[in-house]
Amino acid sequence: MGGGAVTESIDTRHGVILYLEDVSVSFSGYKALNKLSLAVDDGELRCLIGPNGAGKTTLMDVITGKSRPDEGSVFLGQDINLLQHDEATIARLGVGRKFQKPSVFPRQSVRDNLALAVQGHRSPWEALWYRPSSADSDRVASLLETVGLNAVAHQLAGGLSHGQKQWLEIGMLLAQEPLLLLIDEPVAGMTQQETERTAELLQSLVPQRSVVVVEHDMVFVRSIARKVTVLHEGAVLMEGSIDEVQSDSRVREVYLGEAC
Amino acid sequence: MFFQSAFARERAYQFTVGTLLCLAIGVPLSNLLLPQESSFALSSYSVSLLGKYLCYALLALALDLVWGYAGLLSLGHGAFFALGGYAMGMYLMRQIGSRGVYGDPELPDFMVFLDWQELPWYWLGFDHFSFALLMALLVPGALALLFGWLAFRSRVTGVYFSIMTQAMTFALMLAFFRNEMGFGGNNGLTDFKDILGFDMQSDAVRCGLFVATALLLLASYMGCRWMLATRFGSVVLALRDAESRVRFLGYSVASYKLVVFVVSAMLAGLAGALYVPQVGIINPGEFQPLNSIEIAIWVAVGGRGTLHGAMLGAVIIAAAETMLTARLPELWLFALGALFLLVTLLLPQGVAGLLGGRRSD
Ligand SMILES: Nc1ncnc2c1ncn2[C@@H]1O[C@H](COP(=O)(O)OP(=O)(O)OP(=O)(O)O)[C@@H](O)[C@H]1O
Ligand SMILES: [Mg+2]
């Protein structure tokens, strides 16, 4: 426990960090995910797009243990069956997640939010006797720098703007040192400048880590994506480069259909 | 939203510690040393009454830990309190020895009355004070562990958790009313004579109990404060506001809740164990659901989420109850309800918010 090193237990020898096969999830009869299959390569930055209700958030729920699929399999690396673990364990295995609606600890300072996320010391007993090492303090300081919240480090997180909360949550995610980051709509509520910085930040994470980003903002997607997966009605509609996706007639239909 | 500044918290801490120390020293002095005519002299009755208030304060502290910090509204803390009280009451019953009405050297009166021939196994060991005190902590702790494990594992929260805890205390009340349980039925345990071999009616013992209560309350308060200042405390505070964020950071939310719930139940048990020798009786009425609701009202009135506020709330309401029930007993519940409404509507931070005053944000 402790230390700042990236968790090293995920077996990615075959180059795949996340693998889903035929995953279905239904909510009282409605299929939010319908036999969805997806593979994310180790070190990849993948964008996930799709109209509202396509199942993007549900997909993240399944990967992180929040929802149990009715059928299908979900593997982290070669041999970790994520369906056998709960949320906290999956997080400790190295999967970090940012929620669609930013979720931070409002009554604690920005610094304390990050400190809580710093890797290690997760059991109640360890937490009771935890004293931040100088490495941990340095880590928090450098994260504050990275997410540009130095000036508000001592403010309560509840008072931050929407964009700042997004940044803080991304910072907390990084503090966990995950190998796979699932990021749901990171730039909602951000200014143009903030959006650009987010794009830079996400790009700087790969290929040491792997990142899956859900985003509606196509300009943003274009600025970061190498490979885009389009979800529609709980299944993968197509996969390809941003240009391929944007010129695809089925994708257009899905988005246009949604627009009217 | 209001937040208490670190400065206001520090001041409240010093004030609370100072007050408890002054009470621990001043109350016995004024009772034992001052002549009874002096206007500063406290009667033995008052000493026990103050001791009772401090037990309530400890109970409020326990509830605030789970409700104010972890966000779990337990409406069953009266049960942990009563179990602690019964453990101490069993020791005090054993201290009576052969001085009971029936003069049986071994069995308490109510068992003789029921024609029991020997002490049930679960009464064994209770002739030792330290064993009884240990049980006053362990039995509530074990119940909280079992109950909490079932509840938190299946993610029972909010109002469902509150209702389940009410059901728990109600079930225990029914059980303790039964004579065959071996805890004295609806009369409970009473007519105590000695504690640790000393006459419980003596001034010195009453003062001793008061000092013990004040110091244990102080120690519990400081312990809670320490716990909340650690990373453990930060996690607890965080899970009240954003439980799933905590979970997705890799913390096992259920274990944290369980630890807080068990610690809190043990503090409530301790409060019960200190309460019984000072009031001289414990009966199943202590399990009634209304008692547990009243504890929540103390905490809400005093200031949920501030340890000193919860303690203050308990003392204020208990003192008001003493005064009002002496004159207009039938009005008490209405007054309590009105007070609760007023505070919830006008003082969301409770009395502590009024005193702390300063907002940092
Ligand atoms: N807990 C739930 N109970 C019932 N239905 C749900 C639940 N969660 C999701 N759904 C439904 O499943 C479908 C997929 O939802 P999901 O949140 O995954 O979509 P999304 O692609 O993230 O959409 P958005 O772009 O709006 O965030 C929606 O129709 C939604 O109403
Ligand atoms: Mg979504």
Q: What is the pLDDT of residue B4?
A: 56
* Contacting residues for A30 by C-beta, under 8 A, at least 6 apart: none
Q: Do A88 and B230 touch (CB under 8 A)?
A: no
Among B1, B3, B249, select the one facing A172 at the smallest CB separation.
B249
Does the pLDDT of residue A147 top 80, yes or no? yes
| Helix pair B332-346, B307-327: axis angle to 10 deg | 150
Q: Which residues of A touch B229 (CB under 8 A)?
A: none
Q: Do A130 and B230 touch (CB under 8 A)?
A: yes
CA dihedral for A100, A102, A105, A107, sign (positive or negative) = negative
B311-334 per-position pLDDT tens digit: 999 999 999 999 988 888 888 888
Average pLDDT over residues B218-222: 98
CA dihedral for A11, A16, A20, A21, sign (positive or negative) = negative
**Choice from A52, A63, A66, A232 to test ligand 1 binding pocket (greatest atom count within 8 A of CB):** A52
Q: In the 8-state DSSP scheme, what is residue B69?
A: I
Domain boundaries in chain B? 6-356
Q: Which residue has the higher pLDDT, B167 or B4?
A: B167
Q: Do A103 and B1 touch (CB under 8 A)?
A: no
Which amino acid residue places its CA nearest to atom 8 of ligand 1?
Answer: A58
Q: Which residues of B touch A129 (CB under 8 A)?
A: 230
Q: Which residue has the higher pLDDT, B36 or A105?
A: A105
Nearest-CA distance A241 → chain B (Å): 31
Which amino acid residue places its CA nearest to atom 1 of ligand 1?
Answer: A27
Does the pLDDT of residue A190 top 90, yes or no? no
Q: What is the pLDDT of residue A78?
A: 84
Confidence of residue B184 (pLDDT cuts 50, 70, 90): very high
Residue position matching structure tokens 């029972």: B156
Q: Look up the pTM and report it.
A: 0.92
| N-to-C CA span, chain A | 53
Residue-by-residue DSSP string for B202-222? SHHHHHHHHHHHHHHHHHHHH
Contact A21/A73 with Cβ under 8 angstroms? Answer: yes
Atom index in ligand 1 nearest the CA of residue A58 equals 18
**Average pLDDT, whole number, for chain A?**
89
* Contacting residues for B102 by C-beta, under 8 A, at least 6 apart: B109, B112, B113
B337-346 per-position pLDDT tens digit: 898 888 888 8
> A235: which 2 tokens?
């299944």
Does the pLDDT of residue B3 top 80, yes or no? no
Residue A14 CB neighbours (<10 A): 12
Among A87, A127, A176, select the one facing B231 at the smallest CB separation.
A127
A38 touching B (Cβ < 8 Å): no
- DSSP percent split of chain B into helix, strand, coil, nearest 5: 75, 5, 20
Give the separation between CA A177 and CA A194, rounded to whole angstroms: 22
Q: Do B248 and A117 touch (CB under 8 A)?
A: no
Q: What is the pLDDT of residue A1?
A: 38
B199-219 per-position pLDDT tens digit: 999 999 999 999 999 999 999
Q: What is the pLDDT of residue A15?
A: 84
Does the pLDDT of residue A118 top 70, yes or no? yes
Does the pLDDT of residue B35 top 90, yes or no? no
* Contacting residues for A178 by C-beta, under 8 A, at least 6 apart: A7, A91, A94, A95, A96, A209
Give the separation between CA A76 and CA A17, rounded to whole angstroms: 6
A91-106 per-position pLDDT tens digit: 999 999 999 888 999 9
Give the separation between CA B212 and CA B276, rounded to whole angstroms: 13
Q: In the 8-state DSSP scheme, what is residue A109?
A: B
> B152: which 2 tokens?
């938190």
Does the pLDDT of residue B361 top 50, yes or no? no
* Percent above pLDDT 70 for chain B: 97
Residues lining ligand 1, Cβ inside 6 A: A 27, 32, 50, 52-58, 100
Chain B residue at shortest CA distance from A132? B231
Which amino acid residue places its CA nearest to atom 7 of ligand 1?
Answer: A27
Q: What is the pLDDT of residue A258?
A: 53
Q: How far is CA B249 from CA A177, B253, B301, in A?
A: 10, 10, 34
Q: In the 8-state DSSP scheme, what is residue A157?
A: G
In sequence order, the β-bridge partners of residue A182 are: A97, A212
Q: How far is CA A200 from CA A96, A234, B64, B244, in A?
A: 19, 30, 45, 28
Domains of chain A, each with CATH number or no CATH: 16-259 (3.40.50.300)
Give the separation between CA A155 and CA A111, rounded to whole angstroms: 8
Which amino acid residue places its CA nearest to atom 2 of ligand 1?
Answer: A27
Among B3, B232, B238, select the one facing A105 at the smallest CB separation.
B238
Give the separation between CA B54 and CA B210, rounded to whole angstroms: 8
CA dihedral for A78, A83, A85, A86, sign (positive or negative) = positive
Does the pLDDT of residue B1 top 70, yes or no? no
Does the pLDDT of residue B86 top 50, yes or no? yes
Q: Which residue has the higher pLDDT, A10 or A75?
A: A75
Nearest-CA distance B227 → chain A (Å): 7
B7-23 per-position pLDDT tens digit: 778 889 999 999 999 99
Atom index in ligand 1 nearest the CA of residue A59 equals 18
Q: Do A105 and B241 touch (CB under 8 A)?
A: yes
Give the separation between CA B43 and CA B47, rounded to whole angstroms: 6
**Average pLDDT, whole number, for chain B?**
92
Q: What is the pLDDT of residue A8?
A: 53
Which amino acid residue places its CA nearest to atom 11 of ligand 1?
Answer: A32
A18-70 per-position pLDDT tens digit: 999 999 999 988 999 999 999 999 999 999 999 998 999 999 999 999 999 99
Average pLDDT over residues A228-257: 87
- A30-41 and A80-81 beta bridge pairing: unpaired
